[in-house]
Amino acid sequence: MKEGEEERIKKDIALFEESITELGEGDWEVLELARAYCEDARYYLAKGDYLTAFGCINYAHGLIDGI
């Protein structure tokens, strides 16, 4: 594991959580999908699978960026 990978993923998860508080409820389905990807990121992070965790949280960010 490269130093800083876990911290980077945790930072991205925190940024995601901050971003979703600024969204309205108009795109509920997309928001739920994004939240599911964030939960997946937490799961893979806990397992030490940093590559998959990073992919999941970036997918979550992409979904909310599209709203």
DSSP letters along 32-63, please? Answer: HHHHHHHHHHHHHHHHT-HHHHHHHHHHHHHH
Residue 3 has what pLDDT?
62
At residue 10, φ and ψ (nearest 5 deg) are -60, -40
Judged against a pLDDT cut of 60, whether residue 1 lies above it is answered with no
The secondary structure of the chain in percent helix, strand, coil, rounded to multiples of 5, reads 80, 0, 20
Q: What is the pTM of this model?
A: 0.84
Q: Where are the domains of the chain?
A: 34-67
